Structure 1
């Protein structure tokens, strides 16, 4: 049985100094990027550490904290020794609850150990527990949440944990192998919403936000794996949840992804309208980076409409907003939106407008700037570069970039990336040349991707 008594971490609170919890969380995320780590730190996490609820950080956070405070130990930072908060049973239980790709770091922090124990001892919530942990066979059936159980911190935290875990796995492996399993925690989250038994209004608000973010994450997996009808359904579900809860940040996120999907499925005007709606909602939120991303979504739609002037104006607004830097109000999900992604999205605009050399310049910058930790995005940027170089007439350079994409496809499963590479191959086939032939031969040996799955929406 885990003790519920928490001892405040005063040492960690002193380290924050005069900074707000959000500002300190942003500093931690920046420090993580400096060493190639990816942590989804926010003000809530800081509060949980300072209150003593999290007695020992996971290994990723430990590396970040020791990088931020050289020479300090975990004890100096106010944390308990790892062995005092985890035993063999906890580690085994956590591992059993996470049958994910073997390349995923298997260490889980104290909070996930506690959450799983809470869930797995709550009777008919067992299926929801397995689902929210991206569980295995037991999560295949319908989700059951008893009407008499009140939804509290443990359940809401499990939903938020599932969102972060899906994003991490997508960053490393791509969407194709994740979509089916990720649908299970989404059903569990909405079953909790349907139960309508949140213990406090703040808990209900967090549950709505978490379920909506989970719908967007699952929608993205559908989007990236070519299940466009499913993606559209999930994004619409998130948008409806946001409006019911009055959650402007979630609504802006839903519009952002809906715009992206509309562009990818040839509905350019819808892409522009969704991006514009997202910008209106996001305006009061205080995040220039969010406005920058939404402006780039608008630019992408305008590029597909052939509106070069409108596209350039939207790109200009995006760059101005982006250069204002990071703010505490930047949403947690936007950790991927760095300068490399900015360059990539601009490359896609010039590509849609048929300016292949300019597109290739931006795509090349994206590949040089991208953190190699984000394997999926690195493969995506190189695939964009391959296509742009091929269309610009630089066949040998395109072949070199194509080889780099193939180097990553044993770790990344993304129908979208495969589709981009296939389009580049069609352009290169008639070109010939030693480099091109070598790339095409290697491409032909590529194992087939997963079978297409009909959309359920």
Structure 2
């Protein structure tokens, strides 16, 4: 058995069909368009030295085994293949021993239905190599942060996300890996920086949010990754509108929308049209805002056609469109009409998004109070307190404070008990 065949067998790849399946999974993960046949696998296993694969196949083999193919009997690297230079060294206060790191990632990879690493990899030169198992583990960490944020808000997650970003940076700067893995690590760092920005935005720490979004945009530009660039521009548009800079919000949303055209993903384009509409509405251009909202709804109706949207746009659906319509009518002073759409947003919302549920209900309460329905608005605000117990979001608390201020201005006797309960809750959260 040759050295390469033994290395494959050590990872359970003891048949060409298993090797090909793992190869295809790794190629998909890395975005490398490459295929391999049974004949290729058998030649690599049995010939001494094995024939040199093409550059894409070489990178995939390096990533799937976590080992430079040179160490497995291949004589020459194909043109265009490079390897990161620094070994993965333990640093003070960290634990980056390769065997421990691999052992930790086995459970994650298995749960994800993806290839698992092996704890011991001959020969010696492989110490410190980073492969797909590590990439999977780091990406799963980011995905977990997404899920927790959707459900509970970002208040308690900011420090975790920042630490996760620091970990990815450390791996990038102190590890040895093939160039394809390096690109994916850089992209993951950009995506994590973007999520750090979102969490600081949700905590109403806007300067920190801008700093992390700037880092993410730099990464997107460096990698020429349009998907990350669109995400950052869309997020910066949202922040600009939130900070009452609607002209900036429009320009950023429009730039993202222009870049998204070639993706042919209707839901993504719908989301960006909605961001455009929000900025236009805040600028007082109701006619153009209505046109953008109509476009957003038309594009959303095309869901299932064209290319799928990126995972980060999954939240955009019927509830978000209803919410956008509600905000539009609020901006134009039609609070009764706004309340109709905000009720629909609550009916359509996905219970996965706990923060959105609280935000929608408080926005509905605000519209009802502005429309003169003080008792119903106060009742919705009180009902939101149960959701707020589960959510840590300064944006949502800011909306609650707006409702309390409105109720104080109305000074309605019938809603006085509800208003007092809301004041006490705001005071308790502030004291905490």
Report if TM-score (shorter chain) is over 0.5.
Answer: yes
Counterpart selection for 2:235 from 254, 257, 262: 257
Match of 1:455 in 2: none
Determine helix, strand or coil for the equivalent of 2:429.
coil
Match of 2:373 in 1: 394
Counterpart selection for 2:351 from 368, 372, 376: 372
Counting only pairs closer than 5 Å after superposition, residues 257-336 of structure 1 correspond to structure 2 as: 257-326=235-304, 328-336=307-315
TM superposition outliers: structure 1 runs of 4+ over 6 Å: 112-119
Deviations 1:404-451 (A, max 9, x none): 211111111111101001101111113244552222121123164368
Deviations 1:270-321 (A, max 9, x none): 1001000101111111211111111111111111111111111111111111
Determine helix, strand or coil for the equivalent of 1:350.
helix
Match of 1:183 in 2: 162
Structure 1 gap ranges (5+):
11-20, 23-51, 54-92, 99-106, 123-147, 453-457
The answer to whether the 8 A contact 2:254-2:272 is kept is yes
Deviations 1:147-168 (A, max 9, x none): x834321332233212211110
Asked if 1:5 corresponds to 2:12, the answer is yes
Q: Distance in 1 between matches of 2:337 and 2:290?
A: 13
User: Per-residue deviation at 1:345?
Assistant: 2.2
User: Per-residue deviation at 1:199?
Assistant: 1.2
Asked if 1:422 corresponds to 2:401, the answer is yes
**TM-score normalised over the length of structure 1:** 0.67
The answer to whether the 8 A contact 2:220-2:229 is kept is yes
For residues 349 and 257 of structure 1, do their structure 2 counterparts lie closer, same or farther at Cα, with a shift above 3 Å needed?
same
Match of 2:208 in 1: 230
Counterpart selection for 1:160 from 112, 132, 139: 139
Deviations 1:116-157 (A, max 9, x none): 9989x99xxxxxxxxxxxxxxxxxxxxxxxxx8343213322
Counting only pairs closer than 5 Å after superposition, residues 15-414 of structure 1 correspond to structure 2 as: 110-111=110-111, 149-195=128-174, 197-201=176-180, 203-326=181-304, 328-414=307-393
User: Per-residue deviation at 1:205?
Assistant: 3.0
Q: Distance in 2 between matches of 1:391 and 1:118?
A: 62
Whose Rg is larger?
2
- Over the residues paired in the alignment, what is the CA RMSD in angstroms? 3.7
Q: Distance in 2 between matches of 1:115 and 1:213?
A: 23
The answer to whether the 8 A contact 1:258-1:271 is kept is yes
Q: Distance in 1 between matches of 2:233 and 2:240?
A: 10
Counterpart selection for 1:437 from 416, 419, 426: 416
Deviations 1:199-253 (A, max 9, x none): 142x233223222221111111100111111111111111111111111111111
For residues 150 and 421 of structure 1, do their structure 2 counterparts lie closer, same or farther at Cα, with a shift above 3 Å needed?
same
Q: Distance in 2 between matches of 1:243 and 1:428?
A: 47
